Structure 1
Amino acid sequence: MEKIPNIYNSFQVDARIVVTADDTLNACQKLPDNTFSLIVSSPPYNIGKIYEKETSLQEYLQWQETIIAQLVRIMQKTGSLCWQVGNHINNREVFPLDIYFYPIFKKMGLKLRNRIVWHFGHGLHASYRFSGRYETLLWFTKSDDYIFNLDDVRVPSKYPGKRYYKGDKRGMPSGNPLGKNPSDFWNIITEEFELGIIDIPNVKSNHPEKTCHPCQFPIELIERCVLAFTNEHGWIIDPFCGVGSALIAAVKHNRKAMGIDRDTEYCKIATQRLNSYYGGTLKMRPIGKEIYKPTGKERVSQIPIEWSD
C-alpha cells in the first residue's frame, strides 16, 4: 500500500495524501486488492452538472456498477463503503438513487449497516414538489468483522445521571460515560440533547469551505465516517473526490488518503486546499459548531415591506 504515492505523483501532497486527475474506473483498476479501510464518496447524480454528462438512468447505473466492482475489490475485509447520494430527476419525476444503488451493492456481497439521513436547512428549491432538504448515506461493510469505533463519535447524553431501576445493575448508571450513540439521522448539533440528531450544513455561498465546485462535500460530514470506520494510519479513498473534502477529513485525523477525479482543475484545488491545511490557513467549519439561527433583527429575516397589508 505504501507504493500508491509512486503510482500517481502529479498532484501528490506528501506520502499520506495522493490526488490524481484520471478517469475513476481507469485509476481504480491500477490499485491493489484489499487495500482501503474506507471508501467514501458522493458520485455524480446524473442530473447534468458541469462535471458530468447526463445519460439514461440505466446507463448511469451500469457505469456506476463497473466502478463499484473495482471499489469492492480494493476494499479491505474489515473495511467500509459509504455512498452518499440524493435523487435523480427526470421530467419532474424523482428517482431516489439510494434505492437503485442498494441491489448493486448487495449483488457484490456487501452488507448494509445503516441508511443514514443527512438533513440540511438549505437545499434544492422546487416549484412542482416539496423542496429537497436531505440526502442519504449508505454504509456497507464487506464482512461481519468490520471497524466501528463508536466511542470516537459518541455525543452528549440527555440524561447522563439516569440509572437502572431493576435487575442486577439496579442503582448503577445506565448510560455510557462517553455519551450516547449519535443515531442514523444527522441534523442539528444544538438539538443533540433533545433529539439525538446532528446538523451538518451543506456548502453554500456563505460557507467558509466554499470553492467553485457546485456540489461540494462539507468536511464535517466525512469526519464522523473517518473516525467511526477507520483506525489511525489507515488508508481512505474517495473515487470522486472533487475538491478534496474527504482527503482533508482524513489527514485531519491522522489517516492516509487517495482522491481521484477526472477534472484536473478540481484536483488542483484539492491539492491547494490540502497545502493550505498543512500551512494552517485553510478555512473550515469546526465539527460540532452550533448552527447559526437568525435573531429576527437581520434585514433578510424580516418580512419585506412589500408584503405588508
Structure 2
Amino acid sequence: MKKILKILTILIIPLMMFITIIELNRDSISYYTNKNKLYSFFVFSVGNGLFTLIKQDDKSIIFDCGVGIGSNDNRNEFPVNQLSQIGIKTIETVFISHYHYDHYSSLLSLLKKYNIKNIGLPVNRKYKDILPKNNHLNLLDYQENYSFMGLKIFNLTYYSKDFFQIKHTDQNDYSAVFLVTMGNQKILMTFDSLDEELRNNYYLNSMKNKMHVDIFMAAHHGSDNSSSELLSKHFNYSTVIISGTNNYGKWKKYSGHHYFPGERSYELFKNKNVYLTGDDNREYTKKNYSYEFSLFNNGATKLYSYNNKIIDY
C-alpha cells in the first residue's frame, strides 16, 4: 500500500505543477508587476476592434477602447477585466480616435469601474453623446500635442485641418493618427486612418527624410483601403502589430464579417516582424495573441505575447 501511495505521489505532484504553470502563463503573468519596467504598451486581442494602452506602474493612458462586433453581450467586459489583471488602478486619459463602435464599445464599462480624469475626442465632436450625461470628465481640446505620464503624444492629423473642413460621411475620414514617444521608443498609432485625410497633410509633406518608429500599428485592422501604405513612405519600421482577424471559426463573432488583414497589407508587411491579434491562414511572426511591448529602466525593450483573447472569454 505504501508503495502504491509513493507511486501516486510521484505521478500526481508533477501533474499539479504542470497545471499551475500553464494557469500562471495564461492568467496572471508575473512580468506585469516587474518594477524594472518604465513603460508597457499593450494591444489586446479583441477581433476587428481596437483596445490599446500604455501602462506606467498602476497608471495608464488608453488609446481606443473597443472590441470586434460579436453576439456575446458581455464582450465589452473582456478588456476591462484585462486591465485589472495587469494591475491598472488609475486611468489618466482615454483617447477615442473616431466614432466607430469597435473603437469605443467598452467606454461605458470603463467609466463604471474607473474614475477616468480626461477624455480626448476626434476632431468632429458632434458625437459627444457617446458619453454619459452628468459625467465629470475633463474634455481635452483638440490640439497638436498632449503630455501625460511623461509620454509625448503628437497628433499628426492636427495638420489635416483643411480636409476636416469638408463634411465626410465615413467616420474613418476623421480618424486620428498619433506619434507617441515612450521614453526612447516611438509608436505610430494609425487607428482607422485612410489615405485621403493624410494625402495633403502639412506635416507629412514637409518631412525630408523618413522617421524611424519602433512599433507600427497597422491602420484599419490591416485592411487594404487603410493609410498603412502611404505612411510607410514616411516612416521606417521593422515591427508591425495588427489588431485584426479573419472571419473563420470562433473569430467569426468578432470579425464584423471582415477578412483582415487584406492581401495588399500582407504584401506590404511581408518582410517585417508582424504580430496579429487574431487569426489568418497566412504566416506571421505570431498570431492569436495579445501583446505587450515593454521599455525597461536600462533602455532595453522586449515584446511579449500572452494567450488572453476575447474568443476565450
TM-score for both structures, normalised by structure 1: 0.30
Give the structure with the larger strand fraction.
2
TM-score, with normalisation over the residues of structure 2?
A: 0.30
